[in-house]
Amino acid sequence: MEKGNEDSFKLNQYWYQGKAEITTYELSQNRYKDVNPGEVVLIFVTEDFLTDKQVKNDLYQNPNSISILKSNKIKRFTTGIYDYSVMTSTFTPVERNKHPHTLKVTCSSQDWCGQSFQQVNLERDEYKSMLHSYFENEADRTNTHDLIVLEDELMNMIRMNPNLLPIGKFKMMPSMEYLRLKHKPFQSVNAEASNIPYDKGYNEQELMKYNVQMQSEKRTLEIVYESSAPYKIIEWTIEYPSAFDGQLRKTIARKKGEQYIPYWKNNGILDTLMRKELDLMY
């Protein structure tokens, strides 16, 4: 069996078992004038998704249903006395030849000052963005943009097939987490990307490193992942200048725990013990 077909077979076996992959990462977060401690929980799962309503297919009465890979990224970190919680959900179709664009991304951010919520939906031949924010200069607004690469879909691309990743120069929408924490508008940037072997092994696994440069933002994203299916994410690094003193600092997330389970069934008090297996802080 050729490697491409073999990887596709392994992916189908892996993702369609009625389970979700939950991975925890130790976090160092660039915020204010420091690098702050925290944690990321990254959840990948396949779901049936309605293309018209762009929600999970619960009732199975609507014919407009396709299979998607959903990622939930939950980031928590402290800044001095108070803390942040940021969650991003990305819904990417599995059959990219029929549905080449991510359908939906949502992001909510909460801290002791207030909260914001942003959602991007695919509508015909463009993306529509909706923002609700506590902050005066953002407030409530909508926006549209041409169909371009979304930073929030890059990890989903890796997990499905790294050959989907854009290489070279292209337009990209920065992650909604970044836009919200930097209070920036829904606006694309020029990006340039490469995908090369990574020389630092992890549990004797061969690794790849996907690197994206965003020069206008002085921002660099690096994602390290396993080179074979199911292409697990090992770590990622984002370097950019702080909005508060302009100094370049790195946000780093490094893998520490993993489970492949139907977590929605593990909701009893005794299941709390499973949190230790994931080395969860929060």
Number of C-beta neighbours around residue 197 at 10 A: 9
Does residue 82 form part of some domain? yes
Tell me the whole-structure pTM to 2 decimals.
0.95
Q: Is residue 264 part of a domain?
A: yes
Within-domain flag for 253:
yes
In a domain, 158, yes or no: yes
In a domain, 137, yes or no: yes
The number of folded domains in the chain is: 1
Whether omega before 230 lies within 30 degrees of 0, making that bond cis, reads: yes
Q: Is residue 232 part of a domain?
A: yes
Asked if residue 282 belongs to a domain, the reply is no
| Residue 142 within any structural domain of the chain | yes
Q: Which residues pair with residue 210 across a beta bridge? A: 195, 223
5: pLDDT strictly greater than 60? no
Listed in sequence order, the DSSP H helices in the chain are 3-15, 154-160, 176-181, 274-277
- Write out pLDDT tens, residues 190-232: 999 999 999 876 677 899 999 999 999 999 999 999 999 999 9
pLDDT tens digits for range 36-88: 999 999 999 999 999 999 999 999 999 999 999 999 999 999 999 999 999 99
Q: Which residue range forms the structural domain that includes residue 14?
A: 3-277
